[in-house]
Structure 1
Amino acid sequence: MKMDRLQFEFTMISSNDGKSNVLAITSITTEEGKCYVLPEELKPVIHHTSIIKMNTFPKIKNSIKKRHQSRKIWIKLDEDQKKIYIDEEGNMQFSDQYLEEMSSKQPRDKDDSLQNILEKLIETTTKKENQHNLKHISEKFIIEKFTSKNSNAMQWIENFEKECERFNITKDETKIDILRLFLEKSCLDWYRSMMIKLTVHSEWNEWKDKFLETFKNRGWDIVTSALTFRYKEGLLIDYAIKKERLILDVNKSIDPKTMIDLIATGLPGFILNKLNRDELDSSTDLFNEIRKYEGMMYKKNLTTTKSGTFIYKNKSDEKKPCNNCKSLDKGIRYHPEESCWFKKNKIEFEKAFKAKNVNNNSIIEVDMNTEKKNE
């Protein structure tokens, strides 16, 4: 019986102590379909030196990395290999032992089922570990989470890609998976929709294009908001840092001198006049310079506050002359009008005068009626 090639099944198995993986040859199949099993002690590929020396062995080794993974590879035997695995009568052998032929596929099928279960279990466990690792890595990313209120989607996604590169995250599937951890609110709903449309197995560039189509700001609002932002209150340095960030959200490639000009023009005039533009080469120089004048702003704000309080206090405590005394020519008297003595007497006098007029009119009417009757 002539055998020019055999099919070797390479499997990653556990070592005797169970702590490491060992690449092994678990079975050998002929072209006629007969399958032979190697003894446990002869399975590790380290015993098969003729196989290890083959040019194709590194490719075989790279194809099997996880425990219980396997590959069936046809190998064309040379004369030396034939003597190792086949005797003169055509019997399968290895290392002075005849190999056992598997007479039924049923035991093998059971082994395959068990192997499939183990592979699925390992895959699930590995996936959970990867999710945990991704979350751990994402906590080290130096970017803030993205919401629909973010002013520059293009700049944010570029920063996200740089962070992925920094942590050696190169696979598209992994980038798509970790993107979810940096989205909030409506953006997270967008991600779930994209998972249905594109799935996690699509290309990263496709996800990136959809992200920019959805969230890229094409209006002038962020530009005008950044350029017109001015100092109003608080610390000068807080204003300067915030304005720099707003401008960088619009254009991260802006030159340093223009950045200095835009920040400085939003400062109070008397502070701006104290700055020497020629001595400022970066925004850091500007920050250091305006810190010198924080005390001036504090004094100015304090003076304004005290002045406003003093004026308010004087106005509230200011005594006004009684208009009632003034109208009755009683002189200028300072007391509340509702407690004015002359006002009270005036009211009582008017009441008494009114009552007297009513009584006199009644008497006149009675007299007139009496006269008419007498006539």
Structure 2
Amino acid sequence: MEKLKFEFVMKSGEDPKTNTICITSITDADQRTFGIPESLQPIRFHEEIIRTKSFQKVKTTLKRRHDKRQVWITLSPELKRAYVDEDGNFEINGYLLEETQQQAPATESLSALTSVLESFVEMRRDIPRSQNLKNLSERFVLEKFTKKTSNGIQWMTAFETECARLGIEEDISKIETLKLFLEDSCLDWYSSMLMKHTVISDWLIWKKSFCDTYVDKGWSPVRYAMLFKYRQGSLLDYALRKEKLLLEVNKTIDKPTLIDLIATGLPNFIADKIDRGSLKNVEDLFNNIRGLEHLVNKRAFDKKTNLENNIKDKNTRERPCRICEKENKGSRYHPESVCWFKNKENNQFKREQIRSVNNSELEIELNEIDSKN
């Protein structure tokens, strides 16, 4: 009996998430192969094949996408009428099939590459949503939101900008990603929102609740940013810190105002050495500040030296006077250079020296008088 070889391949259906069995080609006993166009490949167009026992075996065998089998099927009168016309031409529902030529190596390589890419895309679809969002969140250029963040509305705008940049557009994806950027008590707010609205809700509801909760209507952050001044350490570290505080309060602040506010927080002897008219950008101010770091370091060194001297003098005053101890006068705390007993010894020594000198002169005069007599 006459037989035909049908090639069955598991491909994606109309919905990319579903699979369907397709017949891609038919080969006769003379090894002639006839390709079937993609529009007629799905198995639903091959009712006579579905009724065969061979197809049931194929259906059991093909489980994963891109699996394929070539199966010989004996032509029944119904199959022959479905695929071969009265002149021996191969057809499907009146569509004549064209005999295909043997694929060139380059085409085979391209087909293999296409198959690999399709497999990769399928694997990416199988990755859990949470893992995808976690990987994307690592690419966010955004600091986490905490209770110390001063401007919640500004932070939310930056969050939505990063979501748009990385292709996170679905509401549920934004809500899930938001949790990865919350810390401290903000996680309690997130848990409350989950209980009230669930994760399958409108993003605008979450956004409005977030902005209403964390909008800062007080003056405390503004006051802290404006009055923040240099205390110690690096001048550049102070300048960068104040710039961040000011931008957190108002991202649209103009450059001259930003420069003035940073400069007014510097020590006067530092700020007076900077030419205000030459500052066009904040970076110009930073460059000038870096060149004046040595002045702060010198002043810190002088203060350290004075402190060490004061400590040395203090230690000297707190040490018992050894002269007083030698005289058995008890423990008295004063510099030895001003000790009264030391001065007393010096005065006594001088008096004894003077007395001995006077006695020697008197003795000489008496001897001279005796010699004359």
Q: Same fold (TM over 0.5)?
A: yes
Do the aligned partners of 1:180 and 1:191 also contact (CA within 8 Å) in 2?
Answer: yes
Which letter does structure 2 place at the counterpart of 1:215?
Answer: Y
Deviations 1:126-166 (A, max 9, x none): 57522211111100101111112211111111111111111
Query: What is the CA-CA distance between 1:200 and the residue it aligns to?
Result: 2.0
Q: The residue matched to 2:180 in structure 1 has which SS? A: helix
Do the aligned partners of 2:230 and 2:267 also contact (CA within 8 Å) in 1?
Answer: yes
Q: Distance in 2 between matches of 1:246 and 1:189?
A: 26
Q: The residue matched to 2:292 in structure 1 has which SS? A: helix
Alignment-derived partner of residue 224 in structure 2? 225
Alignment-derived partner of residue 336 in structure 1? 331
Deviations 1:198-231 (A, max 9, x none): 1222221111000111111111100000000000
Alignment of 1:22-171 (within 5 A): 25-27=42-44, 37=47, 39=49, 95=93, 126=125, 128-171=127-170
Deviations 1:212-268 (A, max 9, x none): 111111111000000000000000000000000000011000000000000000000
Do the aligned partners of 2:137 and 2:180 also contact (CA within 8 Å) in 1?
Answer: yes
1:284 aligns with 2:283: yes
The verdict on how the C-alpha distance between 1:319 and 1:156 changes in structure 2, with shifts beyond 3 A counting, is closer
Which letter does structure 1 place at the counterpart of 2:208?
Answer: D
Alignment-derived partner of residue 117 in structure 1? none
- Give the gaps of 5 or more residues in structure 2: 1-12, 25-37, 52-64, 66-81, 83-90, 96-121, 334-373
1:13 aligns with 2:20: yes
The verdict on how the C-alpha distance between 1:321 and 1:190 changes in structure 2, with shifts beyond 3 A counting, is closer
Query: What is the CA-CA distance between 1:25 and the residue it aligns to?
Result: 4.3
**TM-score, normalising length: structure 1:** 0.56
Do the aligned partners of 2:22 and 2:43 also contact (CA within 8 Å) in 1?
Answer: no
Query: What is the CA-CA distance between 1:314 and the residue it aligns to?
Result: 0.5
Which letter does structure 1 place at the counterpart of 2:136?
Answer: I
The verdict on how the C-alpha distance between 1:167 and 1:319 changes in structure 2, with shifts beyond 3 A counting, is closer
Alignment of 1:274-353 (within 5 A): 274-318=273-317, 336-337=331-332
Do the aligned partners of 1:223 and 1:250 also contact (CA within 8 Å) in 2?
Answer: yes
Q: The residue matched to 1:13 in structure 2 has which SS? A: strand
The verdict on how the C-alpha distance between 1:294 and 1:334 changes in structure 2, with shifts beyond 3 A counting, is farther
- Give the gaps of 5 or more residues in structure 1: 1-8, 29-35, 42-66, 68-83, 85-92, 98-122, 326-331, 339-375
Which letter does structure 1 place at the counterpart of 2:313?
Answer: N
Q: Distance in 1 between matches of 2:21 and 2:277?
A: 71
Q: Distance in 2 between matches of 1:197 and 1:131?
A: 22
The verdict on how the C-alpha distance between 1:333 and 1:235 changes in structure 2, with shifts beyond 3 A counting, is farther
Q: Distance in 1 between matches of 2:240 and 2:139?
A: 24
Alignment of 1:154-303 (within 5 A): 154-303=153-302
Do the aligned partners of 1:25 and 1:38 also contact (CA within 8 Å) in 2?
Answer: no
Q: Distance in 2 between matches of 1:268 and 1:221?
A: 23
Alignment of 1:335-374 (within 5 A): 336-337=331-332
Q: Distance in 2 between matches of 1:333 and 1:38?
A: 129
Q: Distance in 2 between matches of 1:38 and 1:261?
A: 85
The verdict on how the C-alpha distance between 1:38 and 1:184 changes in structure 2, with shifts beyond 3 A counting, is farther
Do the aligned partners of 2:21 and 2:42 also contact (CA within 8 Å) in 1?
Answer: no
The verdict on how the C-alpha distance between 1:189 and 1:39 changes in structure 2, with shifts beyond 3 A counting, is farther
Q: The residue matched to 2:20 in structure 1 has which SS? A: strand
Do the aligned partners of 2:20 and 2:42 also contact (CA within 8 Å) in 1?
Answer: no
Do the aligned partners of 2:23 and 2:43 also contact (CA within 8 Å) in 1?
Answer: no
Question: What number of residue pairs does the alignment pair up?
Answer: 239
The verdict on how the C-alpha distance between 1:162 and 1:321 changes in structure 2, with shifts beyond 3 A counting, is closer
Deviations 1:74-94 (A, max 9, x none): xxxxxxxxxx9xxxxxxxx95
Which letter does structure 2 place at the counterpart of 1:200?
Answer: V
Alignment-derived partner of residue 109 in structure 1? none
Moved more, 238-247 or 193-202: 193-202
**TM-score, normalising length: structure 2:** 0.56
Do the aligned partners of 1:153 and 1:217 also contact (CA within 8 Å) in 2?
Answer: yes
Which letter does structure 2 place at the counterpart of 1:336?
Answer: S
CA root-mean-square deviation: 3.6
Q: Distance in 1 between matches of 2:202 and 2:149?
A: 24
Q: Distance in 1 between matches of 2:22 and 2:328?
A: 110
User: Once the two structures are aligned, what percentage of the paired residues are identical?
Assistant: 41
The verdict on how the C-alpha distance between 1:223 and 1:37 changes in structure 2, with shifts beyond 3 A counting, is same
Q: The residue matched to 1:307 in structure 2 has which SS? A: helix
Which letter does structure 2 place at the counterpart of 1:201?
Answer: I
Which letter does structure 2 place at the counterpart of 1:167?
Answer: L
Q: The residue matched to 1:182 in structure 2 has which SS? A: coil
The verdict on how the C-alpha distance between 1:337 and 1:288 changes in structure 2, with shifts beyond 3 A counting, is closer
Deviations 1:155-203 (A, max 9, x none): 1111111111111211212111111111112211211221221122222
Q: Distance in 2 between matches of 1:321 and 1:132?
A: 73
Query: What is the CA-CA distance between 1:12 and the residue it aligns to?
Result: 4.0
Query: What is the CA-CA distance between 1:96 and the residue it aligns to?
Result: 7.5
